Structure 1
């Protein structure tokens, strides 16, 4: 049986260790091209605020166990050793002359030592009872704080991810523009050499190409800064590279939102936290009322007393004694303090009703504002998406007309600028509508981390 127990314990420990190692390995690594889901999961495992919140949970759990430990018997041991330089004096009456002066008699022994074992068992104590009543709600409150942190981290990581993705897409737009401008410059040079146009056309093409190259450099620097922001939100090491990826088709689908949803206060973690706090405040009322009840405890003491006139023979003989008893402590009058504490607890609970009302109003306002922002951003996004198609079509037509000698190069530059502006505005609008959608989902309490 002992061998079987050892083998089972080893197997359980090995399985647990492997599971923890596997989870750690999975959360510590990202794909070569990290998706949004991977970035969020990495952040949930490494972000500083979440790790601190999880440690707060463990601290709360340990604190609860520490408070509840007072229900168990409290066993202690005290030891002392002492040597009298002068023995104490006791005045005893003279038995031969009771009415005469008392006689001075020194009592005790020069050397003594005591080993005292004590056991104390709490029967009723309002502090311990409060800890027992509120243990689940206190731990629940810590878990809800972690949940709130996870929701905030999910939203922050998502916005930082989309912000970096927007910058990457702007780089793609600028790269495509540079390719077009390079072709335009080549066409302008060839037409100049053929005597069709003057040199201002290819000079303008050169200026436009230089400007686009400078803008690309700016976008690259912005991408570095926004990548640093994303790494910070994720808790990702600064020295490690981070490459993100996202399906552009899915990106447009993710921007869509059902605007017919209504607010359910129970879905908001802030509302849940306030309900938990109300439970704790209700327990505080009971705690204040329990102050009229006595504190009751049972105790057992066992003392080993050693005493001798000679120090070398101090522990040669012991004189044990033991006792047990019941302690009841009840304050009779405290100047009305207990009544005032009860009233304070009741008023704090009543105040939490207004906290609930204020939170509901704040949630409604937050949702209304976020939904209005999303609807406006969505309309703007649809308009700008159509503008991209129109601008690209106009550019293609004018480019052909320029090659045919119908349009001037200035018209090509204007069409090129309009196309780049339309594409930039479109990507900005797409990011804005996704950001607004996240705000609406947070207001609805539907963020899925």
Structure 2
């Protein structure tokens, strides 16, 4: 009796823990737009891109600080356990001697307090560095924008993949309902002697295959949903419900771009290359600025304390102050600067080539995605018609079979044709939605 009570309490405890864990799992119902908005605040890549923006802003401030006044201070203390000895010529003694005279100079305790101000007055590389730091900040912002666009594309494709799996599951369920009805009717005819056992077996095989396919689609839907949660930065164990429908997505207008020779300018990839070209041009200016001199100003004030007794070490001080400037100019460095400037010019040339290639590639991408979307749209319409026709053929075949003017093989073939038409429709639908995302990306419509 005690053992039985123990097991009951244990099972009750485990059940309570499972229910508590289920309550702790968050539940979400998202449209595609809501899923993208969630990703913008939770996706790791976007969070890191935001951090990179902050790093770039701090780098700009750090660069500005190089040209601001630099103040430093120092303090030193020395205790000469033995004062250094200097040998003076014997001629200085009275009376003069040919033997050097050892003399100790200085005091036992010495300390110095110093404060120094340095100010950069002119440096060509600093001026260019300020411009480059701001461009670097611009580059980080555009990189962050590219990350948001790529995340939106990935989330959209994953969302559409899950929607297609849902649509496929609905079609299979509808087909399975009809097939189950046909199987039950055929079994009834077989029991009454109006059908053969092979007719029942054919339909049973189709039903078994369809049930297996249904299980596979359920697993595929779970995989696509988990992939969507991963792309969003959502915990995979969370529950996610998709609120958008395939019909609503297909009803959304898709702008088919006209021949536009400037469409490439709206793409973030082209903007990034423009920013990179600007950085290369600034690097060329920086290399040229090394031919100019550098001018720095400085001011320094210090106090030194000397005594042979530590107790009155700070009673007497000896102040020193100085101001001045330093002009430095590297005149000859073995021709290194000449080749550095030449390489910087070549880097600018490469940037120009990259821009031309990007312009050409984006134009080609827009034309290709437009054609692929048009073809996939036409394919979906054709597959829908084929699916409706195959369903009608199946309906007629069943009627003929029930009236005794058709064969069971005809019904089985019609069932197989419907299944193939459903698969073709699902594939065409998936291609349509993916091509829609690619077209929106190519034309710059996905722009966050």
Residue 88 (structure 1) aligns with: 84
Change (3 A) 1:375 1:259: farther
For residue 137 of structure 2, give the secondary structure of its aligned residue in structure 1: helix
Matched, 1:171 2:169: yes
Q: 1:255, CA displacement in angstroms?
A: 7.5
**What's the counterpart of residue 128 of structure 1?**
126
How far 1:200 sits from its partner (Å)? 2.2
Q: Which residue of 2 aligns with 1:203?
A: 201
Alignment CA distance shift 1:374-1:101 (3 Å): farther
Instruction: Note closer, same or farther for the CA distance 1:448–1:421 as it changes in structure 2 (3 Å cut).
Output: farther
TM-score by length of 2: 0.88
1:90 Cα offset (Å): 4.2
Alignment partner, residue 367 of structure 2: 368
For the Cα contact (< 8 Å) 2:108–2:307, is it kept in 1?
A: yes
The CA distance in 1 between the partners of 2:251 and 2:413, in whole Å, is 32
Could you list the per-position Cα deviations for residues 287-323 of structure 1 after superposition, in whole angstroms to 9, with x for gaps in the alignment? 1121122211111111121221123433333322221
Matched, 1:47 2:39: no
Counterparts of 2:235 and 2:141, CA distance in 1: 27
The CA distance in 1 between the partners of 2:411 and 2:254, in whole Å, is 35
Alignment pair present for 1:147 and 2:145: yes
Residues 78, 127 of structure 1: alpha-carbon distance in 2 compared, 3 angstrom cutoff = farther
Task: Name the Cα RMSD after superposition.
Answer: 2.3
Whole-Å Cα distance in 2 between the matches of residues 188 and 255 of structure 1?
46
1:85 match: secondary structure: coil
Q: For 1:251, which of 234, 249, 254 is the aligned residue?
A: 249
**Cα gap change, 1:30 to 1:328, in 2 (>3 Å):** farther
- Segment drifting more, 205-214 vs 95-104: 95-104
> What is the DSSP-based 3-state SS (H/G/I as helix, E as strand, rest coil) of the residue aligned with 1:162?
helix
Spell out, residue by residue over 1:387-408, the C-alpha distance to the aligned partner (whole angstroms, 9 max, x if none): 1221222222222222222222
Match for residue 408 of structure 1?
407
Is 1:67 matched up with 2:66? Answer: no
Equivalent position of 1:435 in the other structure: 434
Cα 1:164–1:342 change in 2 (3 A) is same
Contact 2:135 2:279 in 1 (8 A): yes
**Which runs of 5 or more residues in structure 2 are unaligned?**
1-24
* Counterpart in the other structure of 1:355: 354
Structure 1: unaligned runs, 5 residues or longer: 1-28
Structure 2 matches for 1:39-438, cutoff 5 A?
39-90=35-86, 92=88, 94-95=91-92, 103-254=101-252, 256-258=254-256, 260-262=258-260, 264-438=263-437
| Contact kept? 1:255, 1:437, Cα under 8 Å | no
**Cα distance between partner residues in 1 of 2:403 and 2:99:** 141
CA deviations on 1:110-145 (whole Å, 9 max, x unpaired) are 211122111111112234222212232111100111
1:37 aligned to 30, 33, 45, which one? 33
Asked if the contact 2:60/2:134 (under 8 Å) is kept, the reply is no
Q: Is the 8 A contact 1:255 1:430 kept in 2?
A: no
Q: How many residues align?
A: 421
Separation (CA, whole Å) in 2 of partners of 1:392 and 1:167: 20
Kindly state the Cα deviation for residue 188 of structure 1 after the two structures are TM-superposed. Answer: 0.8
Deviation at 1:32, TM superposition (A): 4.2
| Inter-partner Cα distance in structure 2 for 1:163 and 1:403 | 39
* 1:19 aligned partner: none
1:246-267 Cα distance to aligned partner (Å, 9 max, x none): 2332222237451535351211
- CA 1:262/1:362 → structure 2, altered by over 3 Å: closer, same or farther? same
Q: Distance in 1 between matches of 2:73 and 2:114?
A: 6
Query: Contact 1:156–1:233 at 8 Å: present in 2 too?
Result: yes
- Check conservation: 1:262, 1:444, Cα contact below 8 A: no
User: 2:21 aligns to what?
Assistant: none
Cα separation, 2, equivalents of 1:268 and 1:367: 11
